[in-house]
A and B are shown apart, each in its own frame.
Chain A
Amino acid sequence: MSYSEKLIDHYENPRNIGSLDKNSGDVGTGLVGAPACGDVMKLQIRVGADGLIEDAKFKTFGCGSAIASSSLVTEWVKGKTIDEAETIKNTDIARHLALPPVKIHCSVLAEDAIKAAIADYRAKTAKKIEEPNTEEPRHAAE
């Protein structure tokens, strides 16, 4: 399959690989996909006191397009508010990386991953307001 230069660059030099502490109150974790389907993405965001995403990390099991899509969204979400980050569309990812049609689902998964991370972060902060210092955050497997 022939891939765009941007995609290959993200595959070969992925940005923001790694993990944040999923138990930390300011970290939202999204884990989407399934091993049986051949792709799983873990995407994490850390939200600063000012409401901006100050760090994002990912780990992905999947094809080159899946790795590139998740690498790209970690770049895009940094410095955005979670409301802004939530507006990232899979079509933007697919267009930016020039994904071939059979790989569009990789960009859908990346959008799902960021949404899941945001949802996890929101759930945590909501809990913090209601009942501070309660149990572990849920494992966000979607």
Chain B
Amino acid sequence: MNVIKQIRRNDQPIYLDYQATTPMDPRVLEAMLPYFTYKFGNPHSRSHSYGWEAEEGVEKARGQVAKLIGADEKEVIFTSGATESNNLAIRGVAEFYKDRKNHIVTTVTEHKCVLDTCRHLEQSGFEVTYLPVQKNGLVDLEVLRNAITDKTVVVSIMAVNNEIGVIQPLEEIGRICREKKVFFHTDAAQAAGKIPLDVEKMNIDLMSISGHKIYGPKGIGALYVRRKPRVRLVPLIVGGGQERGFRSGTLPTPLCVGLGEAAEICMKEMDGEAKRLKKLQERMLEGLQSKLTEIVVNGDLEHRIPGNLNISFAYVEGESLMMGIKGLSVSSGSACTSASLEPSYVLRALGVEEEMAHTSLRIGLGRFTTEQEVDTAVDELVRHVNKLRAMSPLWEMAQEGIDLKSIEWAAH
């Protein structure tokens, strides 16, 4: 396919970080281009055809996004991305209903933009329950049920985790929320377009979507806001009252059109793509497992999007491994890649021990990943893990049968 050749130049490393971002599908770019040039009108201009044309593009896109999640187009508002959508959903609901309710339930493995929104709300008097997750990364439904009180206004649980790709039981969570009469918000940045989502079947009241995670443009996202029963929000951005008053500001027409086109492609190709990625995921994992011992997959393997693997390569520190595999672009849960020097809080929440968290890599597969790339990645990973284990004192001690836990290490 000609399309694939345009994604990566030959001198670039193999891209295996699809949870960080995705390249834009060339079909998306094509759909966007006219809206940068001759269809440049302000979609809110009502007095001439430039405006109407732009509006038509935006409204078509709104419908495409709505269709992907089983919503009505009137329930979709455009934002700058999933971070804004998450901020607006949680803060907006909390602020609107604060006279009656002041409690929010979320999980410890949410994206930082959800956790940070909750922390800010805590500072202004809200109470937040951060649910733990089980060893496989999934929330325990009984724990969730017991956490909801008559003061709870919203439950915010992500659909798919960005580090370990596990899929939360959305339908069951939605059922509990409906039963308890609390709103259910889900951050679906990593889920939309990858797994089937249906706001009706799953009783979802608010859903955040990101453009650049689904082969669309960066700088655009969407928030689904249920109309029946109606969810009310206090806006974060006020002004001209666009987007049903939830989000003022002139819509970026080309970005909206791009998000819509990306959503439509995802919907049409989801089944085939998921099957293809599942095969690649299995190929990657089997390749590594057949050539390396002591590697551990973090998070549930079954309830997981096929485009993600998160693997700890015991006795090999993640950053040093990434330095070795120069031909591959992946990310690591190791502390050494972060400014904070703390290993991944998501892995820690699963009960992954710190020493194993330091050895983890997140490998993201996507629409443009090929079998050949997977094979190259396996070879390169195996070679470098072996090289680094040969120089790892921990590997040496483990081979000698020394129990690393019996040693009194000095924390520094």
Measured CB to CB, the residues of A under 8 A from B are 1, 3, 8, 11, 14, 17, 19, 31-42, 58-67, 102-103, 105, 108-109, 139, 141-142
Report the separation of the CA atoms of residues A142 and B411 in the bound assembly, to the nearest whole angstrom.
9
A11-B323, A35-B358, A63-B334 given; A40·B394 CB < 8 A:
yes
The total of interchain contacts (Cβ-Cβ below 8 angstroms) comes to: 95
- Is B45 in the interface zone, CB < 8 Å from A? no
Interface of chain A: mostly helix, strand, loop or mixed: mixed
The count of chain B contact residues (Cβ–Cβ below 8 Å) is 32
Residues of A within 8 A of B396 (CB): 19, 42, 59
Residues of A within 8 A of B315 (CB): 61
Q: Which residue from chain B places its CB closest to the CB of A103 in the assembled complex?
A: B336
Report the separation of the CA atoms of residues A11 and B317 in the bound assembly, to the nearest whole angstrom.
13
- Is B393 in the interface zone, CB < 8 Å from A? yes
The distance from the CB of B330 to the nearest CB of chain A, in whole angstroms, is: 15
Give 18 pairs: A residue, B residue, CB < 8 Å, sorted on A: A17-B390, A33-B410, A34-B409, A35-B355, A36-B409, A37-B335, A37-B409, A38-B317, A38-B355, A40-B394, A58-B391, A61-B392, A62-B317, A62-B320, A64-B323, A67-B320, A67-B391, A103-B336
Q: B376-412, CB under 8 A of A: which get 1 and which 0?
A: 0000000000000011111110000000100111111
Q: Which residue from chain A places its CB closest to the CB of B409 in the assembled complex?
A: A34
**Which B residues, 332 to 356, have Cβ-Cβ distances below 8 Å to chain A?**
334-337, 339, 341, 343, 353-355
Residues of B within 8 A of A61 (CB): 315-317, 392-395
**Which B residues, 286 to 321, have Cβ-Cβ distances below 8 Å to chain A?**
315-317, 319-320
Report the separation of the CA atoms of residues A41 and B410 in the bound assembly, to the nearest whole angstrom.
12
Measured CB to CB, the residues of B under 8 A from A are 315-317, 319-320, 323-324, 334-337, 339, 341, 343, 353-355, 358, 390-396, 404, 407-412
The distance from the CB of A41 to the nearest CB of chain B, in whole angstroms, is: 7
Q: Are B335 and A38 in contact, CB atoms less than 8 angstroms apart?
A: yes
Task: List the 7 closest A-B pairs by CB distance, nearest first.
Answer: A34-B409, A35-B355, A63-B336, A42-B393, A36-B354, A38-B358, A63-B319
Residue of A31, A39, A60, A109 touching B391 (CB-CB under 8 A): A60
Q: Are B319 and A35 in contact, CB atoms less than 8 angstroms apart?
A: no
Report the separation of the CA atoms of residues A33 and B412 in the bound assembly, to the nearest whole angstrom.
7
Q: Are A141 and B319 in contact, CB atoms less than 8 angstroms apart?
A: no
A35-B358, A35-B394, A36-B354 given; A63·B320 CB < 8 A:
yes
Report the separation of the CA atoms of residues A103 and B335 in the bound assembly, to the nearest whole angstrom.
11
Considering residues A11, A61, A108, which has the most beta carbons from chain B within 10 angstroms of its beta carbon? Answer: A61
Considering residues A14, A59, A141, which has the most beta carbons from chain B within 10 angstroms of its beta carbon? Answer: A59
Q: Are A35 and B404 in contact, CB atoms less than 8 angstroms apart?
A: yes
A63-B336, A67-B320, A102-B341 given; A34·B412 CB < 8 A:
yes
